[in-house]
């Protein structure tokens, strides 16, 4: 008997958007309730609305979405001075200005970097990937380059490695390497896998060496390479797969 074609049945709009790689279902629902999704030219905000991919045209912010479209993940070399959010009610500079959010309406930052921290920041429309990378029990390694105030002692370096008592508990052991030190400042690299707010800054402050400059150089297996500051690029399929299979702790 001839093989039958797969039957595509009408599906809820948020499921369609998730399958097309626009965003996770929950974020797709947010796009709908915000009035950013249209079906055949009509705004659709009802979460129970359905779409037939064979005949209906779906757009998000005016951009047509098709099931042949897949999720996208990009890398940004974030400069200092930008907050990690896709919009800001106070008009502050945010990372959405640096990435193609108009082309990929469901794009969201995977984690965050402080306003005064530069370096590697990932964005994705793949909610499953983002959640797996940020899950509290399975954070991947992140490498930071820090310039700290004063001549850091061997004792302080060892405390950073062993774990620092913060107000939200003792940090997990970190891999810490001394790069250089002088009376005025020291440079170190730290590899951590937790994702606490301003963790590296709080760790260094706790051992008596406030951070002067902080840069994230690596996220899991990915490095910035020669990506200029303020620029972004799309990850290759191999790079996305390397993230999916990155060792978890």
State the Cα–Cα distance between residues 203 and 198, nearest whole angstrom.
Answer: 9
- Which residue reads 């990378």 in tokens? 133
In the structure, how many helices (H) and strands (E) does the chain have?
6, 17
Choose, from 114, 116, 126, 168, the residue flagged as catalytic.
114
The H-or-E segment that residue 205 falls in is helix 199-206
| Of 112, 119, 145, 123, residue with least CA distance to 72 | 123
Note whether 19 and 9 are within 8 A (CB). Answer: no
Task: Verify whether residue 162 is a known catalytic residue.
Answer: no
Which are the catalytic amino acids?
Answer: 114
């Amino acid at each position: 008997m001839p093989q039958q074609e797969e039957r595509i049945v009408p599906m809820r709009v948020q499921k369609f958007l998730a399958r097309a790689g626009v965003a996770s279902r929950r974020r797709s629902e947010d796009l709908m309730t915000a009035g950013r999704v249209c079906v055949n030219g009509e705004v659709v905000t009802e979460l129970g609305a359905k779409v037939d991919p064979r005949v209906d045209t779906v757009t998000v912010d005016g951009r047509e979405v098709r099931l042949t479209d897949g999720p996208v993940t990009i890398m940004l070399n974030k400069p200092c001075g930008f907050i990690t959010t896709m919009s800001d009610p106070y008009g502050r500079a945010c990372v959405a200005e640096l990435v193609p959010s108009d082309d990929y309406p469901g794009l969201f930052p995977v984690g965050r970097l402080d306003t005064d921290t530069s370096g590697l920041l990932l964005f994705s429309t793949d909610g499953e990937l983002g959640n797996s990378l940020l899950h509290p029990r399975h954070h991947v390694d992140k490498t930071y380059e820090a310039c700290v105030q004063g001549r850091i002692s061997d004792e302080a370096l060892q405390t950073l490695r062993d774990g620092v008592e913060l107000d939200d508990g003792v940090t997990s052991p970190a891999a810490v390497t001394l790069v250089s030190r002088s009376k005025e400042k020291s440079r170190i690299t730290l590899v951590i896998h937790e994702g606490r707010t301003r963790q590296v800054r709080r760790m260094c402050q706790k051992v008596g060496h406030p951070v002067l400059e902080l840069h994230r150089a690596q996220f899991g297996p990915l490095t910035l390479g020669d990506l200029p500051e303020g620029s972004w690029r799309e990850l290759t399929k191999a790079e996305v797969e390397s993230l999916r299979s990155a060792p978890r702790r």
